[in-house]
Chain A
Amino acid sequence: MTGWNEKILDVDLTTQTYKTYPLDMEMARLFIGGRGLGARLLWDLVGPEVDPLSPENVLIFTNGPLTATGYQTSNRFSVTTKSPLTGTVLDANSGGFWGMQFKKAGYDVMIVRGKAEKPVWIEIKNDVITFHDASDLWGMRVFALTEKLGQNNNKRNVLCIGPAGENLSRIASIMNDRERALARGGPGAVMGSKNLKAIVVEGKDRTQIDDPERFKFLLYETRKLLAASPLTSQALPEFGTVVLMNIMNNIGALATRNHQQTQFEGAEAISGEELTEKYLVKNSSCWACPIGCTRISKTEKVEGEGPEFESTWAFGAQCGIDDLPAIIEANSLCNDLGLDTISAGSTIACGMELSEKGYMDADLRFGRADQLAPVLEAMAYRRDIGSDLADGSLRLATKYGHPELSMSAKGMEMPAYDPRGMQGQGLLYATSNRGGCHMRGNMVGPEVLGLPKLIDRFQVQGKSSFVILHQNVSAAIDSLVVCKFTNMGVADEYFARVLSSVTGIHYDTGEMTRVGERVWNLERLYNLREGFSMKDDTLPPRLLNEAPADGPSQGWVVQLEPMLKEYYRGRVWDENGIPKKQKLEELGLASLI
Chain B
Amino acid sequence: MPLVKLYANLRNIAGTKELSITGASLGQALSELVRQCPALDGLILENGQIRPHFVITINGLNAIDLDAVVTEQDMIAIFPPIAGGQSNPHPLPLSLWESGTPFPHRGKGWG
Contacts and interface: CB of A to CB of B under 8 A. Distances in A.
Contacts of B105: 282-285, 292
Please tell me the size bucket of the interface on B: 35 or more
Interface string B67-108: 000000000010111111111100100100110111101011
A217 to B, nearest CB: 10
A234 B85 contact: yes
A273 B12 CA distance: 10
B8 A250 contact: no
B62 interface: yes
Nearest to A155: B100
A230 B83 contact: yes
A250 B110 contact: no
B87 A273 contact: no
Interface string B54-70: 01010111101000000
Nearest to B61: A552
A399 interface: no
Interface centre among B11, B100, B107 (most CB of A within 10 A): B100
Interface string A229-264: 111011101110001001100111000000000000
B57 to A, nearest CB: 6
B97 A237 contact: no
B111 A233 contact: yes
A233 B85 contact: yes
A288 B53 contact: no
Interface string A314-350: 0000000000000000000000000000000000000
Contact of B62 (A229, A285, A289, A454): A454
A451 B53 contact: yes
Contacts of A231: 53, 81-82
A230 B84 contact: yes
B76 to A, nearest CB: 10
Contacts of A288: 97, 103
Contacts of A243: 7-8
B82 A230 contact: yes
A228 B85 CA distance: 5
Contacts of B82: 230-231, 234-235, 238-239
A288 B80 CA distance: 27
B102 A287 contact: yes
A223 B88 contact: yes
Given A227-B85, A288-B97, A290-B110, A154 B102 contact: yes
B109 A450 contact: no
B85 A283 contact: no
A224 interface: yes
Contacts of B53: 230-231, 449-451
Contact of A448 (B11, B52, B55): B55
Please tell me the size bucket of the interface on A: 35 or more
A285 B103 contact: yes
Contacts of A250: 5, 57, 60, 77, 79
Nearest to A245: B7
Contacts of A139: none
Contact of A252 (B60, B94, B98): B60
B9 interface: yes
A290 B103 contact: yes
A95 B85 CA distance: 25
A238 B88 contact: no
Contacts of B102: 153-154, 285, 287
A235 B109 CA distance: 8
Contacts of B11: 273
A285 B92 CA distance: 16
A154 B100 contact: yes
Interface string A200-229: 000000100000000010011001101111
Given A220-B91, A228-B87, A237 B110 contact: yes
B103 A289 contact: yes
Given A70-B98, A216-B94, A238 B9 contact: yes
A454 B5 CA distance: 21
Contacts of B5: 250
Interface in B4-30: 5, 7-9, 11
Contact of B109 (A238, A252, A272, A551): A238
A235 B88 CA distance: 16
Given A234-B84, A284-B105, 16 more contacts: A153-B102, A223-B88, A227-B87, A227-B111, A228-B85, A228-B87, A231-B53, A239-B8, A239-B9, A243-B7, A247-B79, A250-B60, A251-B60, A273-B11, A552-B59, A552-B61
Interface of B: 5, 7-9, 11, 52-53, 55, 57, 59-62, 64, 77, 79-88, 91, 94, 97-98, 100-103, 105, 107-111
16 contacts: A70-B97, A154-B101, A219-B94, A229-B85, A230-B84, A233-B111, A235-B82, A247-B7, A247-B55, A250-B77, A251-B57, A251-B60, A273-B8, A284-B105, A449-B55, A454-B62
